[in-house]
Structure 1
Amino acid sequence: MGSAYPAFAAELVAHRAVYELELSRSQSSADLAGLRGRMVLEWAGSSCEGYTLTQRLVTEISDSDGGRMVRDLRMSSWESGDGDEFVFEMKRYVNNVLDETISGSVERSDGTAIVHYTSPADGELALPSSVVFPSEFVRDVIDAAESGKTLVTAEVFEGAETDKYFQVSVFTGRSSVAETDLAKLSGDGKLLAGEASWPVQVSYFLPNDLQGVPDYQVSYRLFSNGVSSNMKLDYGDVVIDGRLTELTYLSSDPC
């Protein structure tokens, strides 16, 4: 295991979360007149059967010339309970036409972690032996926040891009009352009221980037059960706000 904290100590709840997306700001270089969309994230599993994460992000983008484009990103992954196996698939559609597929698996053994790609072509990528995958990463951040640590660093692989992993820095603020109006959330949102939460900023850096400028940043409020709200996606020239509008807790089989 590559994490710096006790593996999978945090207890994540199986859930489905819906976020409404809208443009916060953009630079002129982005040639972006408007953006709106929705992201649906579903997490389920246990340390016995492994953890499944599915995500769909659909955005409608308009430019200054009146052009319109719909982007549809679909991701799914499975992560073993011990963090040593990871299976992933990403499909990217543009205007309902499949534009890109990335899929493969990772196996960690004997101090090595190797990605075996099956799409877009067969290939391999060596990862740092300390690399972590999405579910373990979230648990590590929660463990650190609960112990009062304000900085977490990690190498993270999510499978969304070919031949790439990220060096990640996470800054966590003090636990406080959530800013989200929980009463207005559809579904089980009101149940978040009893959960501890922290403001979190995650910066994703390309390995060996000497400029020290993140490729992109994500900030959100992270609850102790793994639910996130008050999301902001910062890609440099474009910043997108993600508002949690619906939360559903899912049933899961205990070990």
Structure 2
Amino acid sequence: MPVSVPFRACLASVLLLAATLPAAAVQLAPHRATYALSLDGSKVAKRVNAASGQIVYELRGNQCAGYSVLLRQNTDLDTQGGLLSSSISTATWEDGTGKAYRFRVTNKVNGDAPEQADGVAERRDGTLVVKATKPEETTVKISGSVLLPTQHVLRVLAAATSGEPILQAPVYDGSPDARKVYDTLSVIGKGITDEQGLEQAAKSGELAGRTRYPVTISYYERGGKDQTPSYVISFDLFDNGVSRALKLDYGDFALRGTLISYEPLPTEACPN
């Protein structure tokens, strides 16, 4: 069975989550962060001998103007079947109140023709209506209180700062085919400020001394019969939405993302 890199963009929503603290009270810091990828040695890997790569993540905007996210992930896997190179790019914009969403995702493996998802979504009378142009032109209607990616981040942060250890929520981010909704289970640890063992980028500048929360999010395909998550992401989430110590568990193997650089980006205040 060949090893593949799952086509998912919801890492963007992680890097960017109802709780007693209003989500609007949480402020996400515009920033650019770079992570070095490697094979996670704490998990026995199947058919993967080594891994390397990089994630560059950029968040801009605010609750008034909306949030834009750019993410690029390049991964090289040394597998039993040879080298597998994956390149994922994601560009999204989300209304600050979660009423509208625009997404464009491209995934290329070993230089083959890219897989793409492209579309817009807006809420109408309690239904999320998605109009996609790729991978095919279609309209999808999703009922219920599904969250968009930045909404999810804000809800997780709100739960964390309120001391809520569990958050369950359906999430839609447009990948892989503009149709799927994932049920998520977030397990949130208590806030910590100890800087022992932190990367230099995580203990300097505006990240110095900030509270962070250990978070593990499991993603389950809605309607699926398998009780095993499609994949699991673990990370430390700072109280301004910045992440470090990524672990991307795909089942047969896991990747670790180490924060190697962090750059604050200009912050725009909402008009009075």
Same fold (TM over 0.5): yes
Aligned-residue offset at 1:211? 3.6
Residue of structure 2 in register with 1:61 after alignment: 77
Residue pair 1:151, 1:172 contacting (<8 A) in 2 also = yes
The 1:7–1:183 alpha-carbon spacing in structure 2 relative to 1, beyond 3 Å, is closer
* Aligned counterparts, 1:206-245, within 5 A: 206-245=221-260
Q: Secondary structure at the match of 1:194?
A: coil
Aligned-residue offset at 1:7? 3.8
Percent same amino acid at aligned positions? 32
Residue pair 1:128, 1:155 contacting (<8 A) in 2 also = no
Which shifted more, 149-158 or 205-214? Answer: 205-214
Aligned-residue offset at 1:185? 2.1
The 1:179–1:31 alpha-carbon spacing in structure 2 relative to 1, beyond 3 Å, is farther
* Aligned counterparts, 1:1-255, within 5 A: 4-5=18-19, 6-25=22-41, 30-65=46-81, 67-162=82-177, 163-178=179-194, 181-182=197-198, 184-185=200-201, 189-255=204-270
Aligned-residue offset at 1:11? 0.5
The 1:45–1:116 alpha-carbon spacing in structure 2 relative to 1, beyond 3 Å, is same
Matching residue's letter, 1:63: T
Q: Secondary structure at the match of 2:208?
A: helix
Aligned-residue offset at 1:200? 0.4
Q: Unpaired runs of 5+ in structure 1?
A: none
CA distance in 1, matches of 2:108, 2:196: 31
The count of aligned residue pairs is: 250
CA distance in 2, matches of 1:84, 1:96: 36
Matching residue's letter, 2:192: S
Q: What TM-score does the superposition give when structure 1 sets the normalisation length?
A: 0.91
- The CA RMSD measured in Å over matched residues stands at 2.0
CA distance in 1, matches of 2:38, 2:120: 33
Q: What TM-score does the superposition give when structure 2 sets the normalisation length?
A: 0.86
Aligned-residue offset at 1:69? 2.7
The 1:183–1:62 alpha-carbon spacing in structure 2 relative to 1, beyond 3 Å, is closer
Matching residue's letter, 1:51: Y
Residue pair 2:30, 2:267 contacting (<8 A) in 1 also = yes
Aligned-residue offset at 1:95? 3.0
Residue pair 1:32, 1:63 contacting (<8 A) in 2 also = yes
CA distance in 2, matches of 1:128, 1:41: 30
Aligned-residue offset at 1:232? 0.4
Aligned-residue offset at 1:4? 1.7
Cα deviation 1:66-85 (Å, max 9, x = unaligned): x2232100001000011010
